[in-house]
Chains A and B, each alone.
Chain A
């Protein structure tokens, strides 16, 4: 079974802190994604990566950065957390050009106080 894991299910941080959300997949997928989920807005794409050290902005990249140093790991970084980044963060991965469904991690519910 494909497994996508995220470092924390719940996280509470203070405004201004630097926050790292880690995502690891074990199926050698090339493509990885970070989405943000808010009530009434569905899932919105923050960043994605097609390969190691490659990244592309999604629809809402402001206030976020990403890192992909190894194929299996895709990190989302909040450089200076703000209260409007309180949200559910979902990581996903898929095999490039052969996969159909995206496999999602369990999500990280981040609260910024």
Chain B
């Protein structure tokens, strides 16, 4: 079974609109971390946001917020006020266990296209 599922291969949004990228995860470990990375066409992986399993509040970083629903095992990324520069591949990832520094498990990614 997949540990990280991103069901949207591609998403399209217009500038200034908000968009939600879906991510569900599967783990039996009570301690874990959830990450979102952005990969533009240039290829580098850019860290966007992190949510720990014990964090009470949803993480936010500027225009990015993580809608963390623990009971549903979902960790959707919300991008508010989309910009043309947001066009990229987005990956959801999970670290299992309480020890920071372990390997990440990645989803297959969602390609976001922002149009003017």
Contacts and interface: CB of A to CB of B under 8 A. Distances in A.
B103 A109 contact: no
Interface stretch (B12-20, B39-47, B64-72, B74-82): B39-47
Contacts of A99: 100-101
Interface residues of A, number: 32
A88 B101 contact: no
B58 to A, nearest CB: 16
A33 to B, nearest CB: 6
Given A100-B50, A101-B47, A101-B50, A94 B101 contact: yes
A107 B40 CA distance: 12
Contacts of B50: 100-101
Interface of B: 4, 9, 33, 35, 37, 42-45, 47, 50, 91, 93, 99-109
Interface of A: 9, 30-31, 33, 35, 40-45, 48, 50, 58, 88, 90, 92, 94-107, 109
